[in-house]
A and B are shown apart, each in its own frame.
Chain A
Amino acid sequence: MTTFAQAAITGLLLGGVYGLVAMGLSLVFGVMRVVNFAHGEFVLIGMYGTLALYTGLHLNPFVALLIIVPGALLLGAALQQVLISRVTRTTDLRQLLLTLGLSLIIQSLALIIFSPSQRSLPGFAWGSELVRLGPIYVRPAHVVGFVIAVVVTGALALLLTRTDLGRAMRATVDDAEMAESSGVRTNRIYVVGMAIGVCIACIAGAVLITYYPASPNAGQTFLVIAFVAVVLAGLGNVVGAFLGGLMAGLMQQFTASFISVELQDVGLFALFIAVLVLRPNGLFSRKQAA
């Protein structure tokens, strides 16, 4: 029973950050139909950005978010404006090529600038000690990460449902041409969508670096988990992707606890395939399979 509770808590807390990564991926896919294979590398930028601010300017990683967030928004907007706009709503193929290319470029730059070693925040031990809560243990860094994830998710949900910008974004998701003919400037929406998507990924990276070391290949791990989370929720279901992330975290921990920690990712992938076979439009969809 304790094991069950522990697995549930750990799974949820880790799942929060997975959810963040997945939401960014889902948002970009929903708005622009770009399958972003470089999304893991945006997480990487968040990790290394925070690391650089911490080692260079001695900024607390959570304070560093004040710089990371606007920086990431700008980066996302610039990427969309300069590169991705050229393949938005063209073909899957061109998008895959472009984002794969970006992913390779960012990985190599990380390798060149930050060396291949695994880097964590030197001397930043806060939150890495486990704290006892009754029979279970939590890591404060996980809790903070989870809280940040929930706050970001809430803010994004509000943005999408309560603002004109959000409504325009959802209209674009539903039908870009229709939205455009009714006066929505879709290009602007794409820029904003990409900016937010990259920003959320970078926030996830900034949170992760407080308890998970950065290395040039680290982005890949999170990309795969985000793919799973996004499909669990249904492609393009932005807030649902957060729940998908939570489920991914839970599934990993339960497989690890009750089957074998070695097979934790197999459990996750099995869930993914089961969902695709049984409910291909995602768990939260009322629609039938396409």
Chain B
Amino acid sequence: MSSRLLRFHASRGVIGAVAVALALAACGGGDVGGTGAAGGTVKIGLPHPLTGVWAEGGQNALNGALLAIDDVNAAGGIKSLKGAKLSGVPADTSSDDPGQAASVTRRLVQQDGVSALIGAYVSALSLTASTEAEKAGVPMLTQAYTDELTKRGYHFLFQLPPPSSAIGAQTVPYVQDAFATANIPLQRVAVVSSNDAALKAQAEGTASVAQSKGLEVVSTEFYPIDITDASVMSQQVIGTRPDIVFLGGPTAASILVVQTLRSLGYTGPVVGLGGGGILDKGFGDALGDNVNGVLSMAAWNWDMPFDGMVDVNKRYMDRFDQPFMPQEAGESYVAVWDLAQSMEDAGSSEPKDIATALQMLSMTTGPGSFMPGQKVSFSESGLNPDTFPMLIQWQDGVPKGVWPMDVQAVPPIAASQ
């Protein structure tokens, strides 16, 4: 062992060069944006965070895409390209270095010659990855929410889920409507969120919508994402006697806040702002029975009433040993089918042709349409105008769609006993 290490360090300078050369050899020879020869393969780049704090969501998003790629291939591949098969090329963007997201995106485009990209789950990573995609003229579909993505006037970026602002605008009306049926009064509103910008903006948006709807915002708290105790904050929130608590944050923090609120005797509804950890399987695992009744905004759920959803979800659960197909996996799954259809329409695997086809895409049937609203098309800025956010509720340990009615799987239940 030690002698091997010795040799290793003595030639470290060389190793760096060799590693790069190896990488070149391993990835070289990729037909850069090739036109998809008969029966060949079309590569789709999948840059996602596979290490660091966002790794779990990144892995889910990647898994969803890989499942869809296998499904597309099993269904005969891209017929207009003589049955060309899709192949996914994963890449690790890391969780904390948007520069690395840019770098691996360049690699996927330049060395692997991918025809399109799906990624990168986290907003900051998607922003730099999409800049590289734009520079290179390769279309990229993203699962990220932030409004910033589609505000930059890019032509090769396509945002599948609704942007944060749309989710924020719908949160209060959805909850009001959903609870109106249950006759639960919602007057006093508390907003508690982690201070990372995406959620913070959404939380502030939610608070102002609540105010404009005549509700009383009694408490607004922002906490750091690595909070280790929430009892003081929770007490302050409960002291304002809210009827409902809107909550945003990563998994660990959300778990902590919900646990604390519940054990301090708060029994009213808790509603996740969307994004963050409240849709995570770990959230359900850690809270046990306490999770049931917790609501959250979402852009996708596994139980939407479309033909074939049940089957997709079941195969995802079996293949990746998960209790349900999470939202980011679902969005990736849909994104692959949309790409496949665009290639079919374009009869080409040239990135620019795929991008043009994506701009004209209108999916209303099949897995490529499995978003709320059951339609996927893209506006000039890359937004998907027909989709809308949905409200889910944890019931029996899994998130279930409860609102709006078009995607309701089960009716909402009272918050917590």
A and B touch in the complex (CB under 8 A): yes
> Hey, which chain A residues are within 8 Å of B165, CB to CB?
none
In the complex, the chain A residue whose C-beta lies closest to that of B235 is A6
Q: Confirm or deny: A3 has a beta carbon within 8 angstroms of a beta carbon on chain B.
A: yes
Cβ–Cβ contact A253 & B232, under 8 A: yes
> Hey, which chain B residues are within 8 Å of A263, CB to CB?
224
> Hey, which chain A residues are within 8 Å of B251, CB to CB?
118, 213
Cβ–Cβ contact B231 & A10, under 8 A: yes
Cβ–Cβ contact A212 & B228, under 8 A: yes
> Hey, which chain A residues are within 8 Å of B260, CB to CB?
130
Q: Confirm or deny: A14 has a beta carbon within 8 angstroms of a beta carbon on chain B.
A: yes
Q: How far is the CB of A137 from chain B (nearest CB, A)?
A: 6
Cβ–Cβ contact B255 & A213, under 8 A: yes
Q: List CB contacts (< 8 Å) of A195-215 with chain B.
A: 212-213, 215
Count residues of chain B with CB under 8 A from any CB of chain A.
31
> Hey, which chain B residues are within 8 Å of A115, CB to CB?
56
Given A261-B222, A265-B224, A3-B288 contact (CB < 8 Å): no
Cβ–Cβ contact A14 & B221, under 8 A: no
Cβ–Cβ contact B231 & A139, under 8 A: yes
In the complex, the chain B residue whose C-beta lies closest to that of A119 is B282
Cβ–Cβ contact B233 & A261, under 8 A: yes
Q: Confirm or deny: B195 has a beta carbon within 8 angstroms of a beta carbon on chain A.
A: yes
Given A117-B282, A137-B235, A128-B224 contact (CB < 8 Å): no
Q: How far is the CB of A74 from chain B (nearest CB, A)?
A: 20
Q: List CB contacts (< 8 Å) of A1-17 with chain B.
A: 2-3, 6-7, 10, 14
* Assembled-state Cα–Cα distance A112/B95 (Å): 16
* Assembled-state Cα–Cα distance A137/B231 (Å): 8
Given A213-B252, A260-B222, A261-B221, A14-B264 contact (CB < 8 Å): no
Cβ–Cβ contact B288 & A125, under 8 A: yes
Q: List CB contacts (< 8 Å) of A101-152 with chain B.
A: 111, 115-120, 122-123, 125, 128-130, 137, 139, 142
Q: Confirm or deny: B211 has a beta carbon within 8 angstroms of a beta carbon on chain A.
A: no
* Assembled-state Cα–Cα distance A217/B55 (Å): 11
* Assembled-state Cα–Cα distance A10/B256 (Å): 14
> Hey, which chain A residues are within 8 Å of B59, CB to CB?
116
Choose among A14, A116, A217, A221 the residue that contacts B229 (Cβ–Cβ < 8 A).
Answer: A14
Q: Confirm or deny: A262 has a beta carbon within 8 angstroms of a beta carbon on chain B.
A: yes
Cβ–Cβ contact B226 & A221, under 8 A: yes
Choose among A2, A111, A125, A262 the residue that contacts B55 (Cβ–Cβ < 8 A).
Answer: A111
* Assembled-state Cα–Cα distance A137/B285 (Å): 25
Q: Confirm or deny: B306 has a beta carbon within 8 angstroms of a beta carbon on chain A.
A: no
Cβ–Cβ contact B51 & A111, under 8 A: yes
Cβ–Cβ contact B52 & A116, under 8 A: yes
* Assembled-state Cα–Cα distance A115/B322 (Å): 14
> Hey, which chain B residues are within 8 Å of A122, CB to CB?
285-286
Q: Confirm or deny: A264 has a beta carbon within 8 angstroms of a beta carbon on chain B.
A: yes
Cβ–Cβ contact B259 & A261, under 8 A: no
Cβ–Cβ contact B263 & A128, under 8 A: yes
Q: How far is the CB of A208 from chain B (nearest CB, A)?
A: 9
> Hey, which chain B residues are within 8 Å of A7, CB to CB?
232
Cβ–Cβ contact A261 & B223, under 8 A: yes
Q: Confirm or deny: B53 has a beta carbon within 8 angstroms of a beta carbon on chain A.
A: yes
Choose among A111, A118, A128 the residue that contacts B282 (Cβ–Cβ < 8 A).
Answer: A118
In the complex, the chain B residue whose C-beta lies closest to that of A253 is B232
Count residues of chain A with CB under 8 A from any CB of chain B.
36
* Assembled-state Cα–Cα distance A129/B262 (Å): 8
Cβ–Cβ contact A213 & B224, under 8 A: no
> Hey, which chain B residues are within 8 Å of A88, CB to CB?
none
Q: Confirm or deny: A79 has a beta carbon within 8 angstroms of a beta carbon on chain B.
A: no
* Assembled-state Cα–Cα distance A219/B286 (Å): 20
Cβ–Cβ contact A6 & B231, under 8 A: yes
Q: Confirm or deny: A78 has a beta carbon within 8 angstroms of a beta carbon on chain B.
A: no
Q: Confirm or deny: B240 has a beta carbon within 8 angstroms of a beta carbon on chain A.
A: no
Choose among B53, B224, B259 the residue that contacts A264 (Cβ–Cβ < 8 A).
Answer: B224
Q: Confirm or deny: B364 has a beta carbon within 8 angstroms of a beta carbon on chain A.
A: no
* Assembled-state Cα–Cα distance A212/B255 (Å): 10
Choose among A111, A139, A215, A262 the residue that contacts B252 (Cβ–Cβ < 8 A).
Answer: A215
Choose among A117, A217, A262 the residue that contacts B224 (Cβ–Cβ < 8 A).
Answer: A262
> Hey, which chain B residues are within 8 Å of A10, CB to CB?
229, 231-232
Q: How far is the CB of B270 from chain A (nearest CB, A)?
A: 16
Cβ–Cβ contact B228 & A262, under 8 A: no
> Hey, which chain A residues are within 8 Å of B286, CB to CB?
118, 120, 122, 213
Cβ–Cβ contact B288 & A123, under 8 A: yes
Given A128-B259, A256-B233, A257-B232, A215-B224 contact (CB < 8 Å): no
In the complex, the chain B residue whose C-beta lies closest to that of A122 is B285
Q: Confirm or deny: B236 has a beta carbon within 8 angstroms of a beta carbon on chain A.
A: yes
Q: How far is the CB of B277 from chain A (nearest CB, A)?
A: 8
> Hey, which chain B residues are within 8 Å of A139, CB to CB?
229, 231, 263
Q: Confirm or deny: B227 has a beta carbon within 8 angstroms of a beta carbon on chain A.
A: yes
Q: List CB contacts (< 8 Å) of A150-209 with chain B.
A: none
Q: List CB contacts (< 8 Å) of B240-263 with chain A.
A: 251-252, 255, 259-260, 263
> Hey, which chain A residues are within 8 Å of B282, CB to CB?
117-119, 213
Given A3-B235, A118-B282, A215-B252, A129-B52 contact (CB < 8 Å): no
Given A116-B51, A120-B286, A130-B224 contact (CB < 8 Å): no
* Assembled-state Cα–Cα distance A168/B288 (Å): 50
- Most chain-B CB neighbours within 10 Å: which of A122, A130, A139, A142? A130
Q: List CB contacts (< 8 Å) of B184-237 with chain A.
A: 195, 221-224, 226-229, 231-233, 235-236
Q: How far is the CB of B222 from chain A (nearest CB, A)?
A: 5
Contact with A along B36-52 (1 / 0, CB 8 A): 00000000000000011
In the complex, the chain A residue whose C-beta lies closest to that of B251 is A118
* Assembled-state Cα–Cα distance A2/B236 (Å): 10
Cβ–Cβ contact A256 & B232, under 8 A: yes
24 contacts between A and B (CB under 8 A): A3-B232, A3-B236, A6-B235, A10-B231, A116-B52, A116-B55, A118-B251, A119-B282, A125-B288, A130-B260, A139-B231, A212-B228, A213-B282, A213-B286, A221-B226, A253-B232, A256-B223, A256-B232, A256-B233, A260-B222, A261-B221, A261-B233, A263-B224, A264-B227
Q: What 5 pairs between A and B have smallest CB-CB spacing?
A: A116-B55, A130-B263, A129-B263, A261-B223, A117-B56
A interface list, Cβ under 8 A from B? 2-3, 6-7, 10, 14, 111, 115-120, 122-123, 125, 128-130, 137, 139, 142, 212-213, 215, 217, 221, 253, 256-257, 260-265
